[in-house]
Structure 1
Amino acid sequence: MLSSRINLSIVKHLLYLFLFIAPAYTLAQKTQSLFNGKDLNGWTIHGTEKWYVDKGELVCESGPDKQYGYLSTNKTYKNFDLTLQFKQEANGNSGVFFRSSIEGVKISGWQVEVAPLNSHTGGIYESYGRGWLIQPKKEDEQWLKPGEWNELRIKVVAGEVTTWLNGHQMVYFKDDKIAAADGFIALQIHDGGGIKVRWKKIRIKAL
């Protein structure tokens, strides 16, 4: 009788591991960091603008040329769920590109906007193409916290793109052109100068 109870206890324990711990471990394994907090390993700089690491954070800053600049992943990503945090230390336009390609500093692809208040952060813009595809509703612009850390989430599956800012859905967009594309992820410095943005906790999950 005692042996049966012990065996039953072992079975229950193994079942618990299988049902609860194993799926959590698998999920953690699928999510990876794109920024190591130390250097720009895994990324490529495009242009002459400034990209550097400070206090474990990734910083993009306008240089003397005041031109476009990009920091792209060395790997390409098709379907993914990306989260990152950003803090704007100076007004100016930035963003997160996905399924993109580049020649010099001419980038082709889609950008999730990161910009000052009421300038459509979380909206989707097609570079060297159709321009603005969708912008957040006016009442959703308020979810941006100027001068503070914000969390941006971007989910791309086939031709469907959804963005969230600080936990609030900003836009949903479905498009055949996006569905057919593939490419890297990139952070942007817009031309014109006056831009400084900090980034951290850049994590991606392949879907």
Structure 2
Amino acid sequence: MRNAIVFLVLLFLISSCNTGTDETIQLFNGKDLSGWYADVPEADNNPEIDPSFVVRDSLLVSMGEPRGHLITDSVYQNYRLEVEYRFAGEPGNCGVLVHASTPRALYDMFPKSLEVQMQHGDAGDFWCIVEDIEVPNMVVRRGPKDEWGITEGKKRRIPNLTDDSEKPLGEWNNMVIECFADTIKVWMNNDLVNYGFNCTARKGKIAVQAEGAVVEFRKLDLTPLNEISSTE
């Protein structure tokens, strides 16, 4: 009961701070990949490799292979990111990375960041990628404290709060990620599915993954909260 009260109080405090918004930015323009660049390790020695990310029928498509990331040119902080996506074929793995910075910081693949999971059945999980975050009921959610970590071999996953917020395969999901100061909140189809605080990063680039499954995106819209985006 005490943990539930603390959780609700924290949600109220954060929500009360996020009152000012600015004009929404379409990170994906529906035409091309302007404003983004791909980091695909396999392409280092094979520049003719098939692209991991394409625009098809006005959709941004993560082809799943070869694996890598599509990353914004700009750095953002204090924003609400709305993502509409669906798995185009077989269910699989993908994710949205926020506060991304140092490239290939984990497994020579993943940029330093905080991942919001899109994997079918687990959408809304947090994965710590050389950045960290806290949630209510940390031991229950993350496991024994001595096993926590943000690098290879550590417990980096923090499961979401619900099991039934995703749409059936083939239907469009709406994910909203709100990053404000050191907090991150996630909604799936209007359900609050995760909330974290004391994140070790407050700003960074945004990335989407190619991680084995074909995923279509029809919206990646960012609305600044109180402060506008910045560019490196």
Same fold (TM over 0.5): yes
Measured in 2, the distance between the counterparts of 1:153 and 1:132 equals: 21
| Deviation, structure 1 residue 188 | 0.8
Report SS of the residue matched to 2:100. strand
Equivalents in 2 of 1:188, 1:102: separation in Å?
16
Q: Which has the larger radius of gyration?
A: 1
Match of 1:201 in 2: 219
Structure 1: runs of 5 or more not aligned: 1-25
Runs of 4+ in 1 over 4 A off after TM superposition: none
Residues 61 and 197, structure 1, Cα contact 8 Å, conserved in 2: yes
Residue pair 1:99, 1:109 contacting (<8 A) in 2 also? yes
> Which letter maps to 2:173?
N
User: Which secondary structure state, in structure 2, belongs to the residue aligned with residue 186 of structure 1?
Assistant: strand
Q: Per residue, is there more helix in 1 or in 2?
A: 1
Q: Is 1:183 the counterpart of 2:204 in the alignment?
A: yes
Cα distance change on mapping 1:176 and 1:112 into 2, 3 Å: closer
CA deviation digits over 1:111-157, x for unaligned, max 9?
A: 0000112xx211111124165353113xx221111221000000011
**Letter paired with 2:35:** G
Q: Provide the rounded CA distance (Å) in 2 between the counterparts of 1:114 and 1:34.
A: 18
- Return the alpha-carbon distance in structure 1 between the equivalents of residues 91 and 27 of structure 2: 25
Task: Identify the structure with the greater strand proportion.
Answer: 1
For structure 2, the residue ranges without an aligned partner over 5 or more in a row are 1-19, 44-50, 131-149, 226-232
Cα pair 1:123 1:136 within 8 Å, conserved: yes
**Higher relative contact order (Cα pairs below 8 Å, separated by 6+ residues):** 2
* TM-score using structure 2 length: 0.68
TM-score by length of 1: 0.75
Q: Deviations along 1:76-123, whole A, 9 cap, x unmatched?
A: 011110001000122221000011124353411100000112xx2111
Matched residue pairs, number? 169
Alignment-derived partner of residue 9 in structure 1: none
Percentage of pairs with the same residue: 27
Counterpart in the other structure of 2:36? 43
With over 3 angstroms needed to count, the CA separation of the structure-2 counterparts of 1:132 and 1:106, relative to structure 1, is closer
CA 103–132 in structure 1, closer or farther in 2 if over 3 Å, else same: closer
Instruction: Select the residue among 121, 124, 133 that pairs with 1:122.
Output: 124
Root-mean-square deviation (Å): 1.9
Structure 2: which amino acid aligns with 1:34?
A: L
91, 102, 113: which one aligns with 2:117: 113
- Supply the distance in 1 between the matched residues of 2:79 and 2:114 (Cα, whole angstroms): 14
